Structure 1
């Protein structure tokens, strides 16, 4: 079953540009290690906080990635931009439109 990872966090204003610029490298490294990473969306909330939305082939791979991503150098470097974490959660997709597909 497809799963979605939701990570809420803040970034200091002076680190935002570097965080966004470093994102493609981090996502490439994450996908190289975890091919079940199907899509990733970095969003900015109206209050200035960020919500990272990552779509996974299944919850097992999402949980494994959450556990081990800090050991991937590109991920560890990207995480350094985070000032405060609002938590990480995983949800299962019960229905989607368009239907979820594997890559």
Structure 2
């Protein structure tokens, strides 16, 4: 397996409301993708755009979730708050380090 990062940079008019829906999205990802879902980080960039980093166990899991989640009614609360998507990419992790 190749651990994969899903990187999405997007606009959002109400980051606080989006963050409030984040816990239900994370629970849904855990339920649907099990051990293929490794974690996620949501951040705000200096320009005000939001960055979503999701860790997947494989590129296949990342591609499957990218295809399924945006249209899933159970995730509508989160995805309905996303404005323009500026960039979305999947990248294979080559090296990781932790303190």
TM-score by length of 2: 0.90
> Residue 51 of structure 1 corresponds to which residue in structure 2?
51
Once residues 45 and 91 of structure 2 are traced to their aligned partners in structure 1, the CA distance between those partners, rounded to angstroms, is: 20
Once residues 16 and 53 of structure 1 are traced to their aligned partners in structure 2, the CA distance between those partners, rounded to angstroms, is: 16
| Structure 1, unpaired ranges of 5+ | 99-103
> Residue 23 of structure 1 corresponds to which residue in structure 2?
22
Once residues 58 and 7 of structure 2 are traced to their aligned partners in structure 1, the CA distance between those partners, rounded to angstroms, is: 14
Once residues 4 and 19 of structure 1 are traced to their aligned partners in structure 2, the CA distance between those partners, rounded to angstroms, is: 21
Once residues 70 and 96 of structure 1 are traced to their aligned partners in structure 2, the CA distance between those partners, rounded to angstroms, is: 28
Query: How far did 1:72 drift?
Result: 2.7
**Alignment of structure 1 residues 56-71 onto 2, 5 Å:** 56-71=56-71
> Residue 81 of structure 1 corresponds to which residue in structure 2?
81
Once residues 93 and 20 of structure 2 are traced to their aligned partners in structure 1, the CA distance between those partners, rounded to angstroms, is: 29
TM-score by length of 1: 0.87
- Residue 34 of structure 1 aligns to a residue in which SS? helix
1:11 counterpart = 2:44: no
> Residue 3 of structure 2 corresponds to which residue in structure 1?
2
RMSD: 1.1
Q: How many residues are matched? A: 96
Once residues 71 and 79 of structure 2 are traced to their aligned partners in structure 1, the CA distance between those partners, rounded to angstroms, is: 11
